[in-house]
Amino acid sequence: MKYATETPPSSEVKGKPYRLVKYFTFTSLVVIFIGALVLSALFTHWFRSLYRNKSEDYARLLIENLNHQVFYQFNIPVAWRFEKIQLRNKEQFELMDKVVRNTLHSFNVELVNIYNLNNVIAYSFDKSLVGKANVGGTGYRKAVKGQFSSRLVQRGNFFEILIGAPKEVKMVSFAPLRAETPTLIYVKGKGIVFSPLQQQGSEAERSGPILGVFEIVQDLSSEYKAIFRFEKLVVAACTTVMGLLFLVLRFVVKRGEGILEARAQERLRLKEQLDRSARLSALGELTAGISHEIRNPLGIIRSSADLLKKKMAGFDPSSQIPNIIIEEANRLNAIITDFLNYAKPRAPHLTPIRIEEVLEKNIHFLTSRIKEERIRIERRYSEHLPEIIGDVDMLYQAFLNLLINAMQAMPEGGTIEVAIAPAEAGQIQVCIRDEGGGIPESAVENIWDPFFTTKDTGTGLGLGIVKNIIESHGGGIQIENRVDGGAEVIITLPERQGDN
Is 210 within a domain?
yes
Asked if 447 and 466 touch (Cβ cutoff 8 Å), the reply is: no
CA–CA dist 114, 99 (Å, integer): 13
Burial class (CB in 10 A: 0-12, 13-18, 19+), 399: buried
- Model confidence at 500: pLDDT above 60: no
DSSP-derived 3-state class of residue 58: helix
CA–CA dist 245, 237 (Å, integer): 12
Domain range for 407: 348-494
Give the mean model confidence (pLDDT) for residues 482-498: 84
Is 4 within a domain?
no
CA–CA dist 24, 144 (Å, integer): 61
- 392-451 confidence digits (pLDDT tens): 888 988 888 889 888 888 888 888 999 999 887 788 999 999 888 887 776 666 666 665
Asked whether residue 168 falls in the same domain as residue 36, the answer is: yes
3-state helix, strand, coil in the chain (%, to 5): 55, 20, 25
- pLDDT band with cut points at 50, 70 and 90 for residue 68: confident
Tell me the percentage of the chain whose pLDDT exceeds 90.
4
- 105-114 confidence digits (pLDDT tens): 877 788 899 9
CA–CA dist 257, 322 (Å, integer): 65
Query: Measured on CA atoms in the order 336, 338, 344, 350, is the torsion positive or negative?
Result: positive
- Model confidence at 185: pLDDT above 60: no
CATH number at residue 432: 3.30.565.10
Q: Could you give the residue ranges of the DSSP H alpha helices within 316-461?
A: 321-343, 355-365, 367-372, 392-408
- Per-range mean pLDDT, top range of 62-71, 155-164, 179-188: 62-71
Is 288 within a domain?
no
Report in angstroms the alpha-carbon separations of 213 from 83, 102, 269, 289: 21, 19, 90, 118
CA–CA dist 296, 104 (Å, integer): 126
CA–CA dist 323, 329 (Å, integer): 10
CATH number at residue 195: 3.30.450.20
Is 265 within a domain?
no
Q: Which residues contact 392 (CB under 8 A, 6 or more apart)?
A: 351, 353, 358
Report in angstroms the alpha-carbon separations of 100 from 97, 122, 127, 253: 5, 13, 14, 68
What phi and psi values does residue 482 have, to the nearest 5 degrees? -85, 155
Domain-terminating residue out of 208, 232, 256: 232
Domain-terminating residue out of 232, 254, 269: 232
Is 180 within a domain?
yes
Tell me the percentage of the chain whose pLDDT exceeds 70.
77
CA–CA dist 288, 294 (Å, integer): 10
- 216-247 confidence digits (pLDDT tens): 888 887 877 887 787 778 778 877 887 787 78
- 30-67 confidence digits (pLDDT tens): 777 787 777 777 777 777 788 788 888 888 888 888 88
Is 256 within a domain?
no
- Model confidence at 353: pLDDT above 60: yes
Is 336 within a domain?
no
Residue among 345, 381, 347, 377 at smallest CA distance from 363: 377
Domain-terminating residue out of 214, 232, 250: 232
DSSP code per residue over 124-152: ESSGGGTT-BS--HHHHHHHHTT--EEEE
Is 338 within a domain?
no
Number of helices (H), then strands (E), in the chain: 12, 14
Burial class (CB in 10 A: 0-12, 13-18, 19+), 406: buried
Domains contained in the chain, number: 2
Position 366, amino acid: L
Strand pairing of 168-180 and 149-155? antiparallel
